[in-house]
C-alpha cells in the first residue's frame, strides 16, 4: 500500500483553498495538553522583547520572542539577522510532534509569547528569500498555537478588503502553503477584551 503524503492528507481534510496556488489548513487538537506545554516553554526559553528596525527606527516588539533552530538556519527580518539559539529539550519534542503531523522536519522556529491583549503582531508575510528555493511563491509554514485563542487575520495583498479571520490557540496548528506568503499578509491584532496569555510557534524551513 502506498502511504499518502501527510501534507496532501492535511490539505484534503482541513484545507481551505485561497486561489492563486495559496492554501491553508487548520488542524485542531494537535497538542491537547497545550497549557502544560506553554508553561514548560515559558520555563525553558529565554523569551524577551526583540529590538527590530521599522522605517529606520529601532522598535521593541509588543510580545516576547525567542528564535531557535539548527546552526545553519540564520534568518533575517525587519532589518536584523537572527542566529538561532539551540533546540531545548521540550522545544525539540514539540518539533517532533509537528513532524508527526506534517511529515516535515522543520529546521527553525520563531516563538512569540503574547502576555495579554496589548501584545500583538502587525501585518507582514513570511516571504524572506531564505525560506526555500522557490520563496516566496512556495513556502511552507507550520504555526502551532498554545494557550488562549487569539484572532489571526489574513488579507490579500492586492484586494485588501478580501480577509479571512481564524481563531488560533488551544493547541491547534495552522499550516500555510504554496503561494500564501506571496499573495497574502497576516497579523494578530491587539484586543481590548481580557485575554489569557498565548504562545505561537512558527516552524520554518531555512534551506542550506
Give the C-alpha separation, 89 to 113, whole Å: 18
Residue 140 binds ligand AKG, judged by CB under 6 A? no
Residue 23 CA from chain centroid, whole number: 15
If the CB atoms of residues 95 and 186 are measured against ligand AKG, the closer one turns out to be 186
Q: Give the shortest CB-128-to-ligand AKG separation in angstroms.
A: 10
Residue 181 binds ligand AKG, judged by CB under 6 A? no
CA nearest 83: which of 94, 91, 73, 93? 73
Residue from 107, 181, 202, 206 binding ligand AKG (CB under 6 A): 202
- Binders of ligand AKG among 91-130, rule CB under 6 A? 110, 112, 121, 126
If the CB atoms of residues 2 and 176 are measured against ligand AKG, the closer one turns out to be 176
Residues 6+ positions from 112 with CB-CB distance below 8 Å? 63, 64, 65, 121, 199, 200, 201, 202
Q: Give the shortest CB-190-to-ligand AKG separation in angstroms.
A: 12
- Determine if the peptide bond prior to 207 is cis (ω within 30°): no
Q: Give the shortest CB-63-to-ligand AKG separation in angstroms.
A: 8
If the CB atoms of residues 68 and 186 are measured against ligand AKG, the closer one turns out to be 186
Give the C-alpha separation, 67 to 47, whole Å: 9
Max distance between CA atoms of the chain, in angstroms, equals 57
Residue 200 binds ligand AKG, judged by CB under 6 A? yes
Query: How many residues can be counted in the chain?
Result: 208
If the CB atoms of residues 11 and 198 are measured against ligand AKG, the closer one turns out to be 198
Residue 180 binds ligand AKG, judged by CB under 6 A? no
Give the C-alpha separation, 115 to 117, whole Å: 7
Grid coordinates of 160: 485588501
Residue 26 binds ligand AKG, judged by CB under 6 A? no
If the CB atoms of residues 12 and 123 are measured against ligand AKG, the closer one turns out to be 123
Residue 170 binds ligand AKG, judged by CB under 6 A? no
CA nearest 199: which of 191, 207, 188, 208? 188
Q: Residue 173: enclosing H or E segment and its boundaries?
A: strand 172-178
Binding site for ligand AKG (CB under 6 A): 110, 112, 121, 126, 143, 145, 152, 168, 186, 188, 200, 202
Amino acid at each position: 500500500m502506498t502511504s499518502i503524503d501527510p501534507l496532501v492528507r492535511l490539505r484534503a481534510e482541513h484545507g481551505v483553498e485561497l486561489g492563486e496556488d495559496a492554501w491553508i489548513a487548520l488542524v485542531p487538537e494537535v497538542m491537547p495538553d497545550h497549557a502544560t506545554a506553554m508553561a514548560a516553554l515559558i520555563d525553558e526559553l529565554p523569551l524577551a522583547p526583540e529590538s527590530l528596525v521599522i522605517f529606520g527606527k529601532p522598535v521593541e516588539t509588543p510580545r516576547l520572542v525567542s528564535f531557535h533552530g539548527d546552526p545553519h538556519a540564520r534568518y533575517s527580518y525587519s532589518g536584523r539577522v537572527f542566529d538561532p539559539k539551540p533546540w531545548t529539550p521540550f522545544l525539540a519534542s514539540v518539533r517532533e510532534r509537528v513532524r508527526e503531523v506534517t511529515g516535515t522536519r522543520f529546521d527553525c522556529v520563531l516563538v512569540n509569547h503574547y502576555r495579554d491583549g496589548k501584545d500583538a503582531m502587525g501585518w507582514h508575510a513570511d516571504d524572506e528569500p531564505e525560506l526555500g528555493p522557490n520563496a516566496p511563491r512556495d513556502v511552507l509554514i507550520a504555526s502551532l498555537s498554545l494557550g488562549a485563542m487569539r484572532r489571526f487575520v489574513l488579507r490579500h495583498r492586492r484586494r485588501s478588503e478580501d480577509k479571512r479571520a481564524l481563531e488560533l490557540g488551544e493547541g491547534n496548528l495552522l499550516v500555510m502553503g504554496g503561494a500564501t506568503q506571496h499573495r497574502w499578509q497576516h497579523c494578530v491584532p491587539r484586543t481590548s477584551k481580557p485575554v489569557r496569555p498565548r504562545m505561537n510557534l512558527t516552524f520554518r524551513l531555512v534551506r542550506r
